[in-house]
Every structure is written in structure tokens, then in C-alpha cells.
Structure 1
């Protein structure tokens, strides 16, 4: 298996189904038997982008639903156009894997609205102020039982604010590997290898005492990101009954490109 990719392709696509082997770099913070949410999210985005791809349209809103633990075992990717259209269409992709009983089932689903693009440079406007630059960021030791192996060390991190401090957590991050062995990351695939960390970046509680797994993520992109770094400014709110919500702004080095929301299941250790 590759040390520089999250997934290794298993032959060519057959019957409109692609097959991949995940590498150890996909391993979750919560258990080394399941994948972190970021690599599968990016793999779903890859499928959404490639499904009946159009040069005159792009993804604008992507929703990723985690349907259960995604095992570190061979997975299948299936995609289709759910609602075709010239100006707007809905694309769907699913990841399938074998469960503990050996039966194959969907473990994650991605849906994306794809819109026809036109020239609107005359009215460009960004509501959110820019994030402080990558050069202002600092590194911290990402080691120990929660950060020392699997997906977390596969990113290059530059922190702008401490996790759990006042206000939103803020960070710049970029992947140190590609999504699929032998391929180059598209701008939106690169963004999705990072944005699932929003829940952790915005956390106000410690994983030593609590688990806080997100069951989904919704990303709205008003601009295609540029460059290698993805910035996040996010903060999680917690309700009284075990449910939280992480909300954040997504950046490239030019400025904001969109926003993210995640539903969080909160449980004491």
C-alpha cells in the first residue's frame, strides 16, 4: 500500500463501480478500525465531480452523510445523476463496504448540487473577513492516543487559535498525500480532505473526557478554492441532550470560499 495516498485503486471501474483499498492514513481519531470522515468525504466528492462531468458546471453545495462506521477495508464507489438539468442538477455518490456480518451495504452517501457557471466577476463580493495568513500560524505537537497515528498526522497543520479557547478555533491545514494513488487532487477534493476536521478545531470539550463524532457535514461553496492550504474558523455549540452543532467558515489564502455545518453526537467517556 502507498505511504502517499489515502486510497489505492483496485483495477479499472466495472459496471460503473470503482473499487479502492484504504491505506492506514485513513484511520479515525476514535478507533483504528474505522476511517476518519475526511478521506471518505473527499472520495465521494471525487465521484460527484466525475459523474457525467461537465466543463460548464461545478459543485456548489455538498452534503456528506455518514451512515455508519466506515471500515478500513476494500470499498466500492457508485454514483449517478439523480436530477438532471441544464442549469442545475443533483448528483449522488455512495460508498459501499462489507459489514461485520459480511453483507455489503452503503456506509456513506454524498449529494451535490451542480450549477451551470457564467461570468459574474462584475459583482464579486465576500461577506466574511479574511483569515489571518498561514505565516501567522504555529505548529503544535500532534501526538498521543488521539492525534499520533492515522489521518491526523497526514495533514500539515498551522494553528491560529488554541482548541477550546475563547471564540472559534482557527487553523490552516493541507494534506501531505494525494487522495487516490497516481492522481492529482482537484481543488474541491483537496478542500474535502481537510474540512471534516472542523468539528475538532471548533471543539470546546476534550476527547479524553468526551466523544463527539459528527454524523454529517454540509458545505456551501460560492467560490472554487485556490492553492494548497485550507483555512477553517469554527466553533461548536452543545445542547443539553447529547447533540451539538459545529459551524464554520472555509478559506483559501485569498479569502473565504464557503461555510460548513456539522451535526455532532456528544457522549461522556
Structure 2
């Protein structure tokens, strides 16, 4: 079992250690829910967004769409993130980052980076904002899930929260990287976004039931977010042929800023003696 799964959580204040250049190591707080020896996709999203932000940054551009493909179990422990420019341009760029662990690519993301302009004169939003963080109540709905990442998250919800359709706020007291390395609000909040698939799950992960991992995560970011609390306004759809979809509008303390989609593979939880 990787060393990070045996760490005392109280001694660890970040999801990842930066080992230099493009090398990182996950901590106990990044541990996944389905297996003890894997990473949860939520902090993986955060660290990969951080790598994209650090790659040849331009003050007049920002990330606008992220499309993650999860190519298998994401091993805990040491890994690299290899970032490249697929499509250069003056106003539009396409980036790619790959998380490589144990000799294979575990997660690949492509990202459109677009030029910013002053469009405040025509600024408009149609997604409904969530009720305020102050009007929510403490919520431990993620506690039915195991793993270090789930234990690292604090939650609040609104009264209409239910399986399949919910509104919840999430926050983590931990930094994305150790040593005081700065992370943006986008990194902090998107490092929680994959939790949507568990926040309003229609089924609990119990023996004899169904598992429903997502194989991708698509995020469209129409506004730069702020703060440290992520609001998830989530719908979960399950078809009758083993495929489902988790859809969310992401909120910060000022309102909606992005949309996410996660396609699900739904199958019986395997029996483990």
C-alpha cells in the first residue's frame, strides 16, 4: 500500500506535495472513495487545473472549458503532470495535460484558453443562483462514503436537498499544495467539483447495491470564481441500460460561474469477501 495512505491526517495540511518541476505526490487527503490505493478525481482535477494555469500563462487569457477523461484507476503516490500546447493562437489556445502514474496515463484533460475582453456592458446570466451560504445548514451527507478526500470536506445544504436532486455547499480547509504554494480560487473550487456525483447520489454505496463512477468530467467556466466555498446545484439521471449522467451548476458566493457534466457507468458493486 502506498505510503500516503498510512499518514496521520492531522499532520498533513495539503492534498499534494510538490516534488519539483512537474512531479507531485498525493497525501491521505486525496485518497479515493472506491479504493484505498487510488486518488479521488476531485483533488486530481484541482492539481491538473493548477498545472494548466502555470503553463505559459498569459494575463489576457483564461481557462474556459476543461474536458477530463479518466483512463482507469488513478494510483495514489507519486506522479507527473505533462502539459503541452496543442493549438497555439493569439486569442484562442488549446492545452493538454496528462497525469502519468505507474508508467501510464491515468487522466487526460484538454482545455480551451480564451482571450478576455471587457464585455461588462452586455454581461448576463441565466442559471439560477443557489440560496446563500448563510441560509444553509450543516450537512454530513458525504459521510456514507469512505476515503481520505471525503473526510477532508466540510458540507452545508439547503432544505430541499434530496437524492438525485440537491443543493449543497462544500469547503476544504486544506491547501492544494504544500509549502504555501499559492493556488487560485479556480483551483480550490474545481478541486471539489467532482464531488457532484456523490453529493446528490440516488443510491448509497452499500454491498449488494450499485456503483456509479464517472469516466469523465466536463467543465464550462463562464465566469472567473472567487472565495473558498463551492455550491453544487445538481441533477442525477439514470437510464435503464447501465449509463447515467450527473449535471451541476457550480456556484461561488456571488452566484453561478460554471456548469459540469459527468457520464456514469452503473454496475453492481462486486462482492468482496
TM-score normalised according to structure 2 size: 0.90
Q: Which residue of 1 aligns with 2:200?
A: 202
2: CA distance between counterparts of 1:203 and 1:134? Answer: 21
Instruction: Determine the structure 1 residue equivalent to 2:23.
Output: 19
**Distance in 2 (alpha carbons) for counterparts of 1:22 and 1:163:** 32
Q: Residues 25-51 of structure 1: CA distance to partner in whole angstroms, max 9, x if unpaired?
A: 111111111111111111111111111
Describe the SS at the equivalent of 2:218.
Answer: strand
Distance 1:229 1:244 in 2: 27
SS in 2 for 1:204: coil
Structure 1 segments of 4 or more deviating over 4 A? 142-145
- 1:40-59 equivalences under 5 Å are 40-59=44-63
Q: Give secondary structure in 2 for the equivalent of 1:9.
A: strand
The TM-score, its normalising length taken from structure 1, stands at: 0.91
Q: SS state of the match for residue 213, structure 1?
A: coil
Distance 1:233 1:38, change over 3 A: same
| Greater Cα shift, 179-188 or 255-264 | 179-188
Which consecutive residues of structure 1, in runs of 5 or more, have no partner in the other structure?
Answer: 99-103
Unaligned residue ranges in structure 2 (runs of 5+): 1-6
How far apart are the structure 2 equivalents of 1:169 and 1:21?
33
Aligned to 2:161: 162
Task: List per-residue Cα deviations over 1:92-136 (Å, max 9, x = no partner).
Answer: 1010011xxxxx011001111000111011111110121011112
From 173, 177, 184, give the equivalent of 1:176: 173
Decide which structure has greater helix share. 2
Contact 1:66–1:107 (8 Å) recurs in 2 = yes
User: What number of residue pairs does the alignment pair up?
Assistant: 256
SS of the residue corresponding to residue 118 of structure 2 reads coil
Residues in 1 aligned to 2:143 and 2:81: alpha-carbon distance in whole angstroms:
33
* Partner in structure 2 of residue 239 of structure 1: 239
> For 1:33, which of 33, 37, 59 is the aligned residue?
37
Secondary structure of the corresponding residue to residue 71 of structure 1: coil
Mapped to 2, the partners of 1:117 and 1:162 lie a distance apart of 36
Aligned-partner Cα distance in 2 for 1:259–1:68: 24
The alignment's C-alpha RMSD in Å is 1.5
Instruction: Check the 8 A contact 2:14/2:176 in 1, yes or no.
Output: yes
Change (3 A) 1:220 1:254: same
- The counterpart of 1:87, out of the listed 86, 91, 101, is 91
Distance (Å, rounded) in 2 between the aligned partners of 1:247 and 1:145: 21
CA offset digits 1:40-94 (Å, max 9, x no partner):
1111111111111111100000111111101112111110111000110001101
2:75 equivalent to 1:71: yes
